[in-house]
Amino acid sequence: MSVTDQGVVEAVECRSSESPAPVLESLEGREVHLGSLPVLRVLPLRQRRMVGPWCFVDRFGPLTFQGNLMDVAPHPHIGLQTVTWLLDGEILHDDSLGCETITRPGGVSVMTAGAGIAHSERTPEENSHRLDGVQLWIALPDATRNGNPGFAAIKRVPLLDLPGGKVRVFAGSAMGVSSEALHYSPTVGIDIELGPRGSLEIPLTPGWEHAILVLRGDVALERTELDSGHLHYLGTQRQSAALSSHDGGRLLILGGPPFPEKILMWWNFVARTPDELIAAREDWMEHRRFSEVKAYRGPRLDAPSLAGFRPRPAG
Ligand code: MN
């Protein structure tokens, strides 16, 4: 795969631009390719860089395949948590701490990069030939972003089986249940599966901002149909989200307090200054800071050239 296909190659300056009131902004995602894997990227977008601490959202699948679909060789991260959430299929994770896990539907994998970690992500040899899910990044706040790396595989997140549908909380707390995963600033990530003619009112924290990503089927918010190719930003000051579906649908709600710090993203790094990004790139290329992913046989990914490194002002 081409390294330029991976991560955010152009440096993107991100600052929260929360709406002081409820809104419904539907922002079109764009298709990118991770090797042979087509992905819909709905964060960061030119019009919106963050939702709470969430700073990156890739949607992949649903798709069926033969052989090995995903093979992302070892690559580094700093300053963020990755959150991998699957609806179908499986992903084998190996990292520089020696952690290995297979992420499966119903469980969540949370990798804390802190000052630096490297990992690979592959389709395991024994697999269902299907893949459907999201990979999300959460920016770490300044107080913890240079801390120790860590990895947590949670096999089963809380599930509420309600008359209108199923609610799974894969980050933070909602409706009285909490994910076990440790996060470093307030955040929420909820997967909602609405049955045919199903409806659910999901309570929200009014001071937080939220967004919806439709994963499957049809979903309406207060009778406005939401499509699956857009990130639907809800603004702040909402008490709840009234969701419904005709034939059944599935969606994510992501949210958190507007992130109080300006971040700078480049490739797989979240930092604050260009110098930090350049130093992390150099450390990766010189085999410093980031330990090797010993479980992966084959070359690691090279960092993209700095030629494309032009920090853009927040739009
Ligand atoms: Mn990664």
> Which mean pLDDT values do the consecutive 10-residue runs of the chain (315 residues) have?
47 71 94 88 94 97 87 96 98 96 97 98 95 98 97 96 97 97 97 98 97 98 96 97 98 97 95 95 97 96 83 53
From ligand 1's centre to the CA of 121, what distance in Å?
A: 7
From ligand 1's centre to the CA of 209, what distance in Å?
A: 25
From ligand 1's centre to the CA of 76, what distance in Å?
A: 7
From ligand 1's centre to the CA of 7, what distance in Å?
A: 8
From ligand 1's centre to the CA of 262, what distance in Å?
A: 22
pTM exceeding 0.85: yes
From ligand 1's centre to the CA of 120, what distance in Å?
A: 7
DSSP codes of every residue in the chain: --GGGSSEEEEEEE-----SSEEEEEEE-EEEEETTEEEEEEES-SS---BTTEEEEEEEEEEE-SS---EEEEEEEBSEEEEEEEEEE-EEEEETTS-EEEE-TT-EEEEE-TT-EEEEEE--SS--SEEEEEEEEEEPPTTTTTS--EEEEES---EEEETTEEEEEEESEETTEE-S---SS--EEEEEEEPTT-EEEEE--TTSEEEEEEEEE-EEETTEEE-TTEEEEEES--SEEEEE-SS-EEEEEEEESPP-S-EEEEETEEESSHHHHHHHHHHHHTT-SSPP-TT--SPPPPPPPGGG--PBPP-
Q: How far apart are CA 239 and CA 242, in angstroms?
A: 10
From ligand 1's centre to the CA of 306, what distance in Å?
A: 19
From ligand 1's centre to the CA of 3, what distance in Å?
A: 12
From ligand 1's centre to the CA of 213, what distance in Å?
A: 21
pLDDT at 6: 54
Mention every residue, 6+ apart, whose C-beta is less than 8 A from residue 6. 34, 72, 75, 267, 268, 301
Record the tokens describing residue 235, joined without a space.
């603004």
pLDDT at 290: 96
From ligand 1's centre to the CA of 100, what distance in Å?
A: 14
pLDDT at 235: 95
From ligand 1's centre to the CA of 283, what distance in Å?
A: 17
pLDDT at 68: 78
pLDDT at 34: 82
Q: How far apart are CA 295 and CA 232, in angstroms?
A: 39
Record the tokens describing residue 250, joined without a space.
């599935």
Closest by CA position to 57, among listed 287, 277, 239, 251: 251
